[in-house]
Amino acid sequence: MDEGDVDVKFEPFKEIVIMERNFFATPEDIARFASIIAGGKTAGLYWAEGVVFLYFPLPATTETAAKALVENGRVYWTFVGYSIMPKYQPLIETREKIIVPVIDMSSNPMFRKVANWLREQKPKTSP
């Protein structure tokens, strides 16, 4: 095989393991959280299927994570924060004037699947 003969293959993840999740009551609350954890730098959120969320992957630099990824197609997200946001909007602005961009990931089947799963996890409000 010479240099120009490159095979390109698509192998999506088979499994996403979410280790910790937190539901935020409003999109503004998750925007505040994103801003704080980013230390005031611009942080972005993802949106799909009526859910706005952010996640932190376990770096594949750890031997265990790399092995799980290569052998099983499994990735670990150490934390996922999410809130219900029925309609996509490109920015969330809080009353403190924190502006957080939101990326529409609804074209990605993996993000749609995660968003649907998160929506099912939403805490039920008591009457």
> Is 106 contained in some domain?
yes
Q: Is the pLDDT of residue 40 over 80?
A: no
> Is 27 contained in some domain?
yes
> Is 2 contained in some domain?
no
pTM comes to 0.83
> Is 5 contained in some domain?
no
26: burial class by Cβ within 10 Å (0-12, 13-18, 19+)? middle
pLDDT digits (tens, 9 = 90+) for 66-109: 888 888 888 889 999 999 999 999 999 999 998 999 999 999 99
Q: Among residues of the chain, what percentage have pLDDT more than 90?
A: 59
> Is 98 contained in some domain?
yes
Q: What's the total number of domains in the chain?
A: 1
11: amino acid identity, one letter = E
> Is 91 contained in some domain?
yes
Write out the residue range of the structural domain in which residue 59 sits. Answer: 15-121
